[in-house]
Each structure stands twice: as structure tokens, then as C-alpha cells.
């Protein structure tokens, strides 16, 4: 028996049990004592142990079986569990499901004890087999299950009986209820796009709204209305947000001008006047909503063009960002200072970066953002443009919140990058300074998202930034008495954890990342990722894999020898003590590779450095195969250990290969 649920529609919640048989087969469960009581009970076990087993099995001693095992004879119990009628099981499961359904909010609607999100009017529950259909006996607070249901409240008449799910869905459709939500979505989208296309327009794609609207209607009827001319000059995003949030309307855009000119609403019934009355009512309500939006827009423009954005920014002195981190205005000042510091690193003008940071959150004081918080940043761009600020500054007002998630676009304009980095780094440094770090699954201040945003901004813009210097200076500016070094190290470790998750999703192994994090310069995210990608590429080749194994062998031999001899073998090997051509070949290979690797590392060309390193594989493999390190000649032995130290040193200059698995 399998319980399958399907999303319902409007007034329906649907579940199917398949397949259904009348009377579940009897099941015999063989319970071995050894499995339930450790290694027993055996036949010769203490009587107390045997009695405990009998109580658990619900049997008497003469009902047990005795079987031979390696350690002696062991008791077995055969427990018969008789089958039950399927209808009884379904009724029991369904009642338990209905009474304990995890609604976010529920209440009692009648005199009974049932709590439900909305009043529960009827239950259809049937059992179908070859002989026909039988209603399941189920009574929940006076609501008796049966085999009858009804269709659309206004477009169908009376109730009807059903004999199975297919019959149920088909009869509901004939009664003007489309049960499948995907079908409703497709119908809405198809009709809406066709209607818009016929008028030379296009529907603004909004899959979330489509799913929501499809869940509100049983028989979708798409209607298109006009937006009054007086509202057409509102920003498209304002029109779209107002219609979506208040009315659940789709926006219809003119592809030539980009203006939102019409709207799509979805009615739940067909009417004799083809929806004219419904449309007229919707247009009336929409005009009232858009009148409010227009009022906010005009008031905000008056402030932006008159007093400028600083008037709004000054008001943020009275808005608390966090009780331990001060006001929004104090935070803006910190962000502006950091943006000015970061500007040269991202190719932005210092004056523009500082100005953009100062006005980036001014729109939080605007009437429009107060009404529609989701428009913050976007409205900042409009108001900055209206105030006559440079385009780069206006764009930064919108972009500095980005990226908000793993699929969000990353800003590329230099001023936007500087302000976006400063905004996120201030958030992270600030909450680390007051010890409000993410714990487990809890991250109320979205610090993981902020760290990922910093990582993506740095990588996708190829920004070279020493995080420790920036973070330490910023924490010190917040509170000079704090232990900056410890907090900075902890926050850097947090960045590394987020970077591991980010790179893992891009196919980079965790051990490769660890090998690179262990190197100097691990606070430069761009450099760190460049090293990790190069190491990952080398480790995908046979030469790379085998060289790592040779490195680990050399490292193990050295570690043991250094522990035994009480010295560190780093004095430099001399080729004059080489006793074979294979040994001489290793010296030659190292002499050739080492300067190339050092030069490549100096130029941060990790790909060349690691490819050159992997080229040592053949000579090192031959050396281990032909040469015995622990020679009887102590001078030769020490020279070979120093040679291994040179191999280790060269490989370790590229990455900490001890972290690499395999």
C-alpha cells in the first residue's frame, strides 16, 4: 500500500492510496533472540533472560522454537500478526492524517475537536477493487466520508458519485474544476501570452505568481485590462510590484517601450458578459492602488530633486541598525570609509565610491520603499538619477545589495563592486565584533549569504583583496578594544568554510581546497581559488596523482628519519655523493624544475608551476624504485635524505600536499 498526495485546488486536498487490497496478508516475523537480546537467549541461558524474551514476544515457553547455532541452541519466536481489512487501515490512517495535518495556522470551526486551516465540509474516501467501489466508513466530528463530491460552486449543479481517481478527475473537469495544478498553470500562461501577443504586447514572466494564482482558481478564466494613462509614467517595477502584491495581477509590457501598459487577471468562473463586470471591478480597485503608488512616487521625487538624498540619509540617524552596532547612519559612514579604501583595488574613483556609499541606503527613508520594502535599492537608483547624481553612483544604489543568492547576478561596474563589497564586509565584521555569528542552522542576519556574496564579487570581478587587513582595520574602527587578530582569524575561517561549499558545487574537491588554504596568502580569495583550480587540474592527471604519492612517501621517510636522528634534513643535497645514474637524474630534474616553479609562483602562474612539478614524476618514481634511502654509508644516507627534503620543499611550495587524499 502506498499513499500518494497530489496538490489540490481551491477547496480540495487530494490523496490516493495505491494499490489497495482487501485484507493485508498475514505477516510472520521471525524474531531471533540473539538479535533482540545480545547473543541470546540460548537454551542454557539464565531463566530470567528467557522470561524477559517471552514477555517481549508475548508468548509462552512451549511456543518457542529451538534451533542449532554455532554457539549452541538458541530460542526463536514466531509471532503471527493477523491481517486487517484495508478499509480499516485506510480509515485509521486518514483520520490520523486529517486530525494531525501540520498546518502553519489552524483553528476549531465547529463544536468538535478538529482543528483545520479552513472549515472541512466533506470527505470522499472510497475503496475500489475488481468487484466495485465501496465507501470507507469514516466519521470525523460528524463529517461522514462517502463516494460523492461536487464541482464548481457556480458553474455546476448537484453532487455526483465517483468510482476511482481517474473517474474523480474526469467528472470534476466536466463540473468545471481542473484538479491538476500544472494543467491550470499551463492554461493560464497559454491564454495570457496569446492574449498579450494579439495586442502586440508580452506578459512579464513571473513563475512564482503563476503558481500562486493557479492555486487560487478552480476554472481559470484569463482577462486583460488596461492601466489608466495617468499611471503609465510610474516606474515599471512599481506598477509590477503594486499589481502583484495587492491584486495578484500579471504585468503586460510593451516590448518596444518597456512600459507596463496592461494587466492580466485570472477569474474563477465564466460569465455571460465575458468577464466585463469582473474586469471593471478589478480596474477600479487597481486605480485606487496605483493612485497611492503615484502619490508616493511624486512625493519622493519632490524630495530627491529638492533637498537631495542627504535629507533621507540624515533621517537614518534615528533608525537603529542593531542595538550593539548603532544606527543606519553610523553604518553608512563605516561603509563609505571602507568603499573609499576598496575603490582603487576595483578600479573605481574614490570620490564616486564614497558618495555612492553615502546615498546607497537613502531610499530606506522614502515613502515608496516604506510601502514596498522589496523595491529598496531599485528606487534608490531612480531617486539618485532624479537628484542629478552620476550614473555610476545611481547604479551602485541598486547594485550594492547584490548578489542576494547563488543565482543572482553579480555587479561588475567598479563603483557598484566597491560599495557592494563594503556593505557585506561591514555586515560580517560588525556581527563578528558583537559575537553574533551563525550557529548550526540558525543565521538570522544572513551572514552566510553575505560571505558568499563577497566571494562571488571577488572571483567574478577578479579582485585581489587581502581580507585580513581589511577586516582587522574595520573591526578596530568599530571597537578598538576588541581582540582584532582573533576575530579576524575566526572570520577568515568562516570565509574558508563558505568557499569550500562554493567550490564543491563547482566540482573542486574538498582536500584540494584544504591543501591550498594551508598555504600563505590564503586571505586572498581570488589567489586561493586560482591555486585550487590549478591543483585540481594537475590531480586529474596520472602524473599528478603519482607525484603526490611519491611526495607522501618522501615525507613519511623524512619524518621518521628526522624523529629518529633528532635533526631536520634541510642542509642541501650534493650531487657528488650520487651513486647511480637514476640518482643523478633526480638532481638534474630538480635543478631544471625548481627555478621554473619559483618563477611561475612569483608570477602567480600556478598552472605552470604545478604542471612543472608533475613533470618530476618519472625521475622521482625511478629514484624510489632503484635507490635504497637508508644506505650503509651514513654520508650517502644523509645526502639522500636531504635530496628527499628538497623534493618535499619544492612540492610544498606549490600546495600542502599532505592534505591531499589518496
| CB of 451 closer than 8 Å to CB of 438 | no
| CB of 538 closer than 8 Å to CB of 613 | yes
Which of 29-33, 252-256, 466-470 comes out lowest in average pLDDT?
Answer: 29-33
Q: Could you tell me which residues come within 8 angstroms of residue 101 by beta carbon, excluding any fewer than 6 positions away?
A: 116
pLDDT single digits (tens) 590-609: 999 999 999 999 999 999 99
Which of 54-63, 207-216, 429-438, 626-635 comes out lowest in average pLDDT?
Answer: 54-63
pLDDT at 66: 83
Label each residue of 332-373 as H, E or C.
HHHHHHHHHHHHHHHCCCHHHHHHHHHHCCHHHHCHHHHHCH
Kindly report the average pLDDT of the chain as a whole number: 89
Which of 57-71, 149-163, 539-553 comes out lowest in average pLDDT?
Answer: 57-71
pLDDT single digits (tens) 184-212: 999 999 999 999 999 999 999 999 999 99
- What CA–CA distance (Å, rounded) separates 530 from 654? 12
pLDDT at 10: 60
Which of 48-62, 75-89, 435-449 comes out lowest in average pLDDT?
Answer: 75-89
Is pLDDT of 1 > 50? no
pLDDT at 606: 92
pLDDT-based confidence at residue 3 (cuts at 50, 70, 90): very low
pLDDT-based confidence at residue 55 (cuts at 50, 70, 90): confident
Long-range contacts of 143-148 (CB under 8 A, 24+ apart): 145/91, 145/94, 146/122, 148/124
pLDDT-based confidence at residue 340 (cuts at 50, 70, 90): very high
pLDDT at 81: 64
pLDDT at 77: 75
Helix (H, G, I), strand (E, B) or coil at 660: coil
Please compute the mean of the pLDDT values over residues 368-387 and round it to a whole number. 96
> Measured between alpha carbons, how far apart are the two ends of the chain, in Å?
46
Please compute the mean of the pLDDT values over residues 349-355 and round it to a whole number. 97
| CB of 565 closer than 8 Å to CB of 637 | no
pLDDT at 26: 44
pLDDT single digits (tens) 459-503: 999 999 999 999 999 999 999 999 999 999 999 999 999 999 999
pLDDT-based confidence at residue 17 (cuts at 50, 70, 90): low
Of 570, 576, 588, 581, give the one whose Cα is nearest residue 643: 570
Helix (H, G, I), strand (E, B) or coil at 224: strand
pLDDT-based confidence at residue 514 (cuts at 50, 70, 90): very high
pLDDT-based confidence at residue 4 (cuts at 50, 70, 90): very low
Q: Among positive and negative, which fits the CA dihedral 107, 109, 114, 117?
A: negative
- Residue given cell 553604518 in the structure block: 331
Cα→Cα distances 116→12, 103, 123, 126, 573, Å: 13, 7, 13, 22, 81
- Residue given cell 547594485 in the structure block: 399
Is pLDDT of 67 > 90? no
One-character DSSP codes across 543-587: HHHHHHHHHHHHHHHHHHHHHHHTS---S---GGG--SHHHHHHH
- Residue given cell 486487517 in the structure block: 84
Please compute the mean of the pLDDT values over residues 29-38 and round it to a whole number. 37
pLDDT at 293: 95
Look up the pTM and report it: 0.80
C-alpha cell at 291: 493612485
Is pLDDT of 40 > 60? no
Q: How many C-beta atoms surround the C-beta of residue 145 within 10 A? A: 20
pLDDT at 256: 93
pLDDT single digits (tens) 299-314: 999 999 998 999 999 9
Please compute the mean of the pLDDT values over residues 427-454 and round it to a whole number. 94
What are 202's strand-pairing partners? 253
Is pLDDT of 5 > 50? no
Is pLDDT of 320 > 50? yes
Is pLDDT of 615 > 60? yes
Indicate the DSSP class of residue 200. Answer: T
- Residue given cell 581582540 in the structure block: 483
Amino acid at each position: 500500500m502506498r499513499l500518494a498526495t497530489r496538490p489540490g485546488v481551491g477547496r480540495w486536498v487530494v490523496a490516493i492510496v495505491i494499490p489497495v487490497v482487501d485484507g493485508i496478508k498475514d505477516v510472520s516475523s521471525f524474531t531471533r533472540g540473539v538479535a533482540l537480546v545480545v547473543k541470546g537467549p540460548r537454551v542454557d541461558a539464565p531463566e530470567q533472560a528467557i522470561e524477559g524474551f517471552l514477555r517481549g514476544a508475548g508468548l509462552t515457553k512451549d511456543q518457542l522454537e529451538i534451533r542449532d547455532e554455532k554457539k549452541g541452541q538458541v530460542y526463536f519466536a514466531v509471532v503471527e500478526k493477523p491481517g486487517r481489512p484495508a478499509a480499516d487501515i485506510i480509515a485509521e490512517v486518514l483520520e490520523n492524517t486529517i486530525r494531525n495535518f501540520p498546518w502553519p495556522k489552524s483553528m476549531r470551526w465547529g463544536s468538535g475537536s478538529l482543528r483545520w486551516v479552513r472549515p472541512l465540509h466533506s470527505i470522499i474516501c472510497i475503496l475500489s477493487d475488481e468487484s466495485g467501489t465501496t465507501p470507507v466508513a469514516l466519521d470525523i466530528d460528524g463529517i461522514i466520508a462517502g463516494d460523492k463530491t461536487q464541482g464548481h460552486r457556480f458553474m455546476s449543479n448537484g453532487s455526483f458519485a465517483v468510482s476511482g481517481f481517474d473517474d474523480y478527475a474526469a467528472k470534476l473537469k466536466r463540473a468545471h474544476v481542473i484538479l491538476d495544478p500544472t494543467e491550470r498553470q499551463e492554461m493560464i500562461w497559454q491564454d495570457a501570452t496569446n492574449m498579450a501577443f494579439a495586442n502586440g504586447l508580452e506578459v512579464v514572466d513571473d513563475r512564482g505568481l503563476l503558481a500562486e494564482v493557479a492555486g487560487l482558481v478552480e476554472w481559470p478564466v484569463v482577462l486583460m485590462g488596461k492601466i489608466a494613462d495617468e499611471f503609465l509614467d510610474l516606474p515599471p517595477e512599481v506598477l509590477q510590484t503594486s499589481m502583484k502584491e495587492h491584486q495578484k495581477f500579471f504585468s503586460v509590457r510593451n516590448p518596444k517601450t518597456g512600459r507596463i501598459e496592461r494587466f492580466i487577471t485570472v477569474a474563477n468562473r465564466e460569465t455571460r458578459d465575458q468577464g466585463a463586470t469582473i474586469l471593471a471591478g478589478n480596474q477600479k480597485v487597481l486605480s485606487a492602488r496605483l493612485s497611492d503608488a503615484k502619490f508616493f512616487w511624486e512625493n519622493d521625487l519632490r524630495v530627491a530633486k529638492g533637498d537631495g538624498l542627504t535629507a533621507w540619509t540624515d533621517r537614518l540617524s534615528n533608525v537603529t541598525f542593531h542595538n550593539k552596532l548603532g544606527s543606519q547612519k553610523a553604518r553608512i559612514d563605516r561603509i563609505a570609509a571602507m568603499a573609499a579604501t576598496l575603490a582603487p583595488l576595483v578600479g573605481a574613483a574614490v570620490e564616486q565610491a564614497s558618495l555612492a556609499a553615502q546615498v546607497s541606503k537613502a531610499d530606506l527613508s522614502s515613502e515608496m520603499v516604506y510601502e514596498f520594502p522589496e523595491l529598496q535599492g531599485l528606487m534608490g537608483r531612480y531617486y539618485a538619477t532624479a537628484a542629478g547624481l552620476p550614473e555610476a553612483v545611481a547604479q551602485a544604489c541598486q547594485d550594492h545589495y547584490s548578489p542576494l543568492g547563488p543565482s543572482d547576478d553579480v555587479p561588475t561596474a567598479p563603483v557598484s563592486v566597491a560599495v557592494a563589497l563594503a556593505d557585506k564586509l561591514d555586515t560580517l565584521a560588525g556581527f563578528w565584533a558583537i559575537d553574533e555569528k551563525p550557529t548550526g542552522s540558525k543565521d538570522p542576519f544572513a551572514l552566510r549569504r553575505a560571505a558568499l556574496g563577497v566571494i562571488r564579487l571577488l572571483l567574478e570581478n577578479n579582485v585581489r583583496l587581502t581580507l585580513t587587513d581589511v577586516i582587522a582595520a574595520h573591526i578596530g574602527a568599530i571597537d578598538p578594544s576588541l581582540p582584532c587578530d582573533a576575530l579576524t582569524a575566526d572570520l577568515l575561517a568562516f570565509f574558508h568554510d563558505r568557499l569550500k561549499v562554493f567550490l564543491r558545487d563547482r566540482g573542486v574537491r574538498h582536500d584540494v581546497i584544504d591543501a591550498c588554504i594551508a598555504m600563505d596568502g590564503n586571505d586572498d580569495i581570488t589567489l586561493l581559488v586560482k591555486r585550487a583550480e590549478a591543483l585540481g587540474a594537475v590531480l586529474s592527471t596520472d602524473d599528478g596523482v603519482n607525484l603526490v604519492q611519491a611526495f607522501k612517501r618522501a615525507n613519511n621517510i623524512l619524518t621518521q628519519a628526522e624523529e629518529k636522528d633528532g635533526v631536520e634534513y634541510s642542509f642541501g643535497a650534493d650531487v657528488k655523493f650520487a651513486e647511480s645514474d637514476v640518482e643523478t637524474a633526480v638532481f638534474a630534474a630538480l635543478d631544471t624544475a625548481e627555478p621554473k616553479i619559483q618563477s611561475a609562483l612569483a608570477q602567480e602562474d600556478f598552472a605552470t608551476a604545478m604542471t612543472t612539478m608533475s613533470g618530476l614524476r618519472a625521475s622521482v618514481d625511478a629514484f624510489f624504485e632503484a635507490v635504497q634511502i637508508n644506505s650503509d654509508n651514513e654520508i650517502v644516507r644523509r645526502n639522500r635524505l636531504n635530496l628527499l627534503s628538497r623534493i618535499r620543499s619544492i612540492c610544498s611550495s606549490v600546495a600542502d600536499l599532505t592534505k591531499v587524499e589518496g
